[in-house]
Structure 1
């Protein structure tokens, strides 16, 4: 048998003792591996979305009709979604846009975070999240507000949120275990998980990762390729087909789908142009906010402490 090896993932059909690594040979005539941090980053650039996403609140579910077909939809509400900061590869090592949503009273925000918002010229937000973008063309002006028309009707999006918390659950509900016998000598062990590992020799222990009872739910779940059915800027809602993780009131992340084509270029250009028209002086306002923040910082330092 001629051993084969996957170029992308590095798998091999050769037996373990016949692999080229046994003799410390770099490739043994086979194609060079394309795995590693640099190759992973290069592949990731192709799947990273071009644009930033938004934070939305799950309101509930409804249904719409597409022709004679009834489609179940989830209603997502956008509440004061603003760009808070930009992350660059030169300074942070990657390209990303930090987005905030909602509002929070200043008395409920820590002093360091208040200073952070003050330097950005943005009111304190209830939620903060980062959205990775492919390059510098995906960065947005700080303080710009993202509306539902940021998305195009018919495009596909990925939704990420925490699932509903189920509380403490047993093995049958949490992992789908079959349980024990219903009769034939079984007593009070009908829903137990059974043995948790070997009991002799050096393996007499519970192996890491063993499926056991515990808290169920409240995990990060990503649902990919949901279709945007409606984007209403007046109501501030986005309707996507299908279900979204989490209960009502859950904050979800909404971004262009990774495994689908991005929105059409005319729509992307139009959305970016309208955003810049709504905030023509974003850079000047950011610079003024930074200067005001530094001035207030010096005043706080020079002010004597109150005892």
Structure 2
């Protein structure tokens, strides 16, 4: 597995090879610095740690300052580890090296996007689970349109089963979207355009895996 860290810029649409308009997400991917290389001899597995985004030195813990200093780079905001980095990148995964989007992805590739979805706060069952609500305002119903309805039995089972779909906090979860097609790569601007939507708000951190 190989990948890169980036920032979601926003959405647009471009025309595909078949002439149809495709909704796409624009991501500023990289440049990322290799801050650690793990191998089976010393760590028990192969992995590459990449860092992205500038961070103020005064807000960086001393232990991290030393970690970044080993890689001869400034403090970074986001650090992600990619296990079993592909063999074709062996010459590039050297401590302190800079990985750009053009080094990892090219047009036509399929990638997985990982991000944190937008937080919606505390939501009811209609928005959270797609319930239909009571549906009518007659027969003595009062203020019950979007209510969840019955949530359990009476004397048996005398409890509400775990996992029952109810109101609660919605969003702000780690979400992984699979198999997004790379529509365009612009290495000179560190931009990559993928088909479909990517979880998260604008300017949120996104991890792309190949």
Common topology (TM > 0.5): yes
Query: What residue in structure 1 maps to residue 7 of structure 2?
Result: 57
* Higher Cα Rg, which structure: 1
In the alignment, structure 1 segments of 5+ residues that lack a partner are 1-48, 257-307
- Structure with a larger share of its residues in strand: 2
The separation in 2 between residues aligned to 1:230 and 1:137, in whole angstroms, is: 21
Indicate if the aligned counterparts of 2:113 and 2:176 stay in contact, CA closer than 8 A: yes
| Structure-2 residue corresponding to 1:243 | 197
Residue in structure 2 matched with residue 188 of structure 1 by the alignment: 143
User: Are 1:94 and 2:45 matched, yes or no?
Assistant: yes
Q: Does 1:205 align with 2:159?
A: yes
Q: Is residue 2:69 matched to residue 1:69?
A: no
The alignment partner of 2:188 has SS state of coil
Query: Which secondary structure does the structure 2 equivalent of 1:127 belong to?
Result: strand
**Structure showing greater relative contact order (alpha-carbon pairs closer than 8 Å, 6 or more residues apart):** 2
Instruction: Using the TM superposition, name which of 226-235 and 134-143 deviates more.
Output: 134-143
RMSD, aligned CA:
2.0
Secondary structure of residue in 2 paired with 1:126? strand
Where in structure 2 are there 5+ consecutive unaligned residues? Answer: none
TM-score by length of 2: 0.88
Q: Which residue of 2 aligns with 1:8?
A: none
SS in 1 for 2:140: coil
* Contact 2:7 2:206 (C-alpha < 8 Å) held by counterparts: yes
Structure 1 residues 189 and 249: alpha-carbon distance in aligned structure 2, compared to 1, 3 A threshold: same
Shift of 1:70: 2.2
Partner of 1:147: 100
CA contact (8 A) 1:78 1:236 kept: yes
What's the CA shift for 1:122?
2.6
Structure 1, residues 124-144: CA drift from partner, whole Å, max 9, x if none? 111111122267776511211
In the aligned structure 1, how far is the partner of 2:142 from the partner of 2:62? Answer: 59
Q: 3-state SS of the aligned residue for 2:108?
A: coil
1:81–1:134 distance in 2 versus 1, CA, 3 Å: closer
- Give the secondary-structure state (helix, strand or coil) at the position aligned to 2:54: coil
Count of residue pairs brought into register by the alignment: 205
- TM-score, normalised to structure 1, is 0.62
